[in-house]
């Protein structure tokens, strides 16, 4: 079985994307709303990733 | 000032209406949607959940086994096991065919373990969606 090796950043972005797709599909009623909600979720995930990354960097000095 | 009215809880329809749909949705990611002819959403859910699970396996993530002890150990291991189990056939095939990996140190393995649990949790969302469609709460 091949092995996939990703950096922290790639793995978190990939997971954010996949979760956003599912949240978008199950949460809204029209396709346009689903797309918009999925994109918004992905944006929030990315913001959280950058926010927490900077917090950890500043916390470690 | 009037009090905000609580939304009325809808009664749960009989099990025969949604039982087989939810069971199939658990066993096959997206299967509940395919059964109800929601092919587009079923295909997207199916592809996303299977991709997440496969990435978890390819990152050599490990499967949780239910273990009890102190509260945190119980929550992590029993919760993780339930998350894995929620993937349905993907989880069962991985165990039966011997693809479950031992728990080893390293950030990639750790992400893999999280991807495997996340796939199960996404399937729970898909099961709830399939239930709502079967119960007539969603089109």
- What pLDDT, in 10s, does the model give residues B51-97? 999 999 999 999 999 988 899 999 999 999 999 999 999 999 999 99
pLDDT of residue B3: 60
Per cent of chain A over pLDDT 70 is 98
pLDDT of residue B2: 54
Of A3, A18, A23, the CB nearest to B60: A3
ipTM over 0.85: yes
CA distances from B119 to A25, A53, B25, B31 (A): 15, 24, 13, 15
Interchain contact B117–A (C-beta under 8 A): no
CA distances from A29 to A21, A25, B20, B87 (A): 14, 9, 23, 25
Output DSSP code: residue B61.
-
CA distances from B53 to B61, B86, B123 (A): 10, 11, 10
pLDDT of residue B8: 75
Average pLDDT over residues B17-38: 94
pLDDT of residue B17: 86
Interchain contact B39–A (C-beta under 8 A): no
Nearest chain A Cα distance for residue B69, angstroms: 30
Of B48, B55, B126, the CB nearest to A4: B55
Per cent of chain B over pLDDT 70 is 97
pTM for the full predicted model: 0.90
**Residues in chain A whose beta carbon is closer than 8 A to a beta carbon of chain B?**
1-6, 8, 11, 14-15, 18-19, 21-23, 25-26, 29
């Amino acid at each position: 079985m091949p092995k996939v090796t990703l950096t922290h950043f790639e793995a978190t972005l990939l997971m954010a994307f996949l979760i956003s797709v599912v949240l978008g599909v199950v949460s809204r009623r029209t396709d346009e709303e689903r797309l918009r909600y999925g994109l918004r979720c992905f944006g929030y995930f990315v913001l959280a990733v950058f926010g927490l990354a900077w917090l950890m960097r500043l916390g470690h000095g | 000032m009037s009090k905000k009215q609580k939304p009325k809880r809808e009664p749960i329809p009989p099990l025969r209406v949604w039982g087989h749909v939810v069971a199939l949705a658990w066993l096959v990611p997206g299967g509940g949607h395919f059964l109800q002819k929601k092919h587009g959403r079923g295909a997207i859910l199916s592809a996303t959940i299977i991709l997440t699970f496969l990435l978890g396996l390819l990152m050599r993530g490990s499967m949780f086994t239910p273990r009890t002890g102190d509260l945190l150990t119980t929550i992590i291991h029993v919760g993780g096991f339930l998350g894995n189990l929620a993937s349905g056939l993907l989880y069962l095939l991985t165990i039966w065919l011997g693809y479950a990996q031992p728990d080893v140190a390293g950030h990639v393995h750790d992400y893999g373990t999280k991807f495997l649990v996340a796939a199960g949790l996404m399937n729970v969302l898909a099961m709830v969606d399939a239930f709502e469609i079967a119960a007539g709460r969603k089109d």
